[in-house]
Amino acid sequence: MNDPKITEVEGGITAPIGYRAAGVASGLKPTGLDLALVVSDSLASAAGVFTTNLAVAAPVTLAKKHLEKSSGFAKAIVVNSKCANACTGERGVTAAQAMAEDAATVLECNTEQVLVASTGVIGMHLDTNKVRAGIKEAAGQLCSGSHRRAAEAIMTTDISPKERAVIVKASSGSFTIGGMAKGAGMIEPNMATMLGFLTTDADVAPPLLNQALRTVVEDTFNAISVDGESSTNDTVFMLANGMSNVKITADDSTYTALVIGLTSVCSWLAQEIVRGGEGATKLVTISVVGAASNEEAKSAARLISNSPLVKTALHGGDPNWGRVLAVAGRSGVMFDQHKAEVRIGHVTLYADATVFSERESDAAQHMEGPEIDVTVDLGTGGTGRATMWTCDFSAEYVHINADYRT
C-alpha cells in the first residue's frame, strides 16, 4: 500500500473534529497568559508519556493515576505555566487534585477524566484560588479558534508558541492530528522539561493509542537536547475522540497511517523546541551511522548532542571535528577510529584516519547558516543509525538561567 498523504493545516490542537481550547491569564504570571484548557466534545481515548526523573512533580503522579483509574479515557487537559508544582510535598498533591476537581466541576465530567500538567519554577506552591478562577474563565471561553492562545498560555522561556496540525488521508478515510508543545531549557532525551499535547479525531482504543504514542515519542521528543538537563514535569498527552469515524486497528494500514501522521506532527514540534532553545542560534542535526546497533548509535548521538565542547564550537562556527570524534570515542559503544568518519554538512573532515584540514573553510561556511548537520560514522561496519536534534550553547543561555527565578 502507498504511504498516506499528509497535508499541513491550520488549527493546532483544535484542528481535529470535536476539540475546543482556551488560554487565559489567571495571575500566576505577572503578565500574560498562564493557564490553558483543552476539551474534547466527547469522551476520548487517552495516553501519556512522562518524565523519567525520580523527583517527579505532583501533576505527573496524578495524571498517571487518572489514566489508570479511567482505563485510558479523558475529557479534558488543564495546564498551568509559571509554577511547576514540583517538590511541594502534600500541599502540591492537594493543589494538583484541586486543579482536576475544579476542571471536572465546570465541565461536568468525572475528576479522573481530567488530565493535569504544570510547568515553571520548581519548589513554588501553586495558588489554587488563581487556578480555580482561571479554569472557570477558560471554560467560558472554550472554542476551536483559541488554539493559539492555549499554545501561548503553556509557555515559560519559549520565544514563541509551537503548534502543528495535519490531515492524514489513508485508504479508509481521512483524519486529523493536532498538537502544541512548550520547552526551551532543561531539554534532554527520555523526556525533559517539555510539555506536549496531541489530539486526533481518529477512533483509537486506549492500548493502541498508548502504543502509537510511545513509538513516536521515542524518535521525536526523546531525540532532542538543549542542555542535557532532565526535569520533573515532562509530559506528553494524546486524546483520540473518534469523531472522524476512521477506526484505527493494529492489523491493517490504518495504524501505519496514524504513526506516520503523528510522527509528522511530533518531529516538527520537537525540532521547534530545540530551534527555540534558551539562547539557541542554531538547530543542529546529529546523525550517527555505522554503529553496531540502533541503540548504540543513539547512545553516541545523545552524548555528542549534550557535549558543551561540541555545542560551544557549533555556536562559534568552528568545524572542530576532533571534539566530535573524541565524544564518540568515549561514548562506551563500539568504535573504530581508523575507520570512523566525521562530516559537517557534506564536507568530510576526517575519514580512515586521515585529516582533511584544507576542507575546514567549506565546513565553516556551512556552519554560518541557521541549521547545521553533523554526521559521524562509528566505523564498525554495522547498520545501526540514529538521529538527534540539539542546538548551540551561547552566552544568552547562561544569562537566561542565571536569572530564571527572577
Which residues does the annotation mark as catalytic?
193
CA geometry: angle 348, 352, 354, nearest 5 deg: 70
Q: Report, as an integer, the average pLDDT of 330-359.
A: 96
Give the 3-state secondary structure of residue 388: strand
pLDDT tier, 188 (very low <50, low <70, confident <90, very high otherwise):
very low
Give the span between the Cα atoms of 133 and 231, in whole angstroms.
28
Give helix then strand counts, H and E, for the chain.
11, 15
What is the signed CA dihedral for 197, 201, 204, 206, rounded to 10 degrees?
A: 40
Of 89-93, 268-272, 372-376, the range with the lowest mean pLDDT is 268-272
User: What pLDDT sits at residue 66?
Assistant: 98
User: What pLDDT sits at residue 192?
Assistant: 40
Scan for cell 532553545, then name that residue: 277
Partners of 388 in the β-ladder: 286
Give the span between the Cα atoms of 321 and 310, in whole angstroms.
9
Of 182-191, 195-204, 245-254, the range with the lowest mean pLDDT is 182-191
Q: Over the stretch 18-66, which tens digit does the pLDDT of each residue have?
A: 999 999 999 999 999 999 999 999 999 999 998 877 788 999 999 999 9
Q: Give start and end residues of each alpha helix (H) in 147-293.
A: 147-153, 206-218, 253-275
Cell of 379: 566505523
Give the span between the Cα atoms of 162 and 148, in whole angstroms.
9
Question: Residue 316: which residues within 8 A CB-CB, separation 6 or more?
Answer: none
Q: Are the C-beta atoms of 83 and 125 separated by less than 8 Å?
A: yes
User: What pLDDT sits at residue 400?
Assistant: 61
pLDDT at residue 338 greater than cutoff 60: yes
Give the span between the Cα atoms of 275 and 130, in whole angstroms.
32
Rounded to the nearest integer, the mean pLDDT of the chain is 91
User: What pLDDT sits at residue 332?
Assistant: 93
Q: At what angle do helices 206-218 and 253-275 cross, to 10 degrees?
A: 40
Q: Are the C-beta atoms of 229 and 184 separated by less than 8 Å?
A: no
CA geometry: angle 160, 163, 165, nearest 5 deg: 160
> What whole-number percentage of the chain has pLDDT above 90?
78
Domains plus CATH for the chain? 5-275 (3.60.70.12), 283-402 (3.10.20.340)
DSSP annotation of 15: -
> What whole-number percentage of the chain has pLDDT above 70?
92
DSSP annotation of 128: H
pLDDT tier, 252 (very low <50, low <70, confident <90, very high otherwise):
confident
CA 39 from centre of chain: 20
pLDDT at residue 121 greater than cutoff 90: no
Q: Report, as an integer, the average pLDDT of 373-402.
A: 86
User: What pLDDT sits at residue 75?
Assistant: 98
pLDDT at residue 279 greater than cutoff 80: no
pLDDT tier, 281 (very low <50, low <70, confident <90, very high otherwise):
confident
* Phi and psi torsions of 368, nearest 5°: -75, -20
User: What pLDDT sits at residue 157?
Assistant: 74
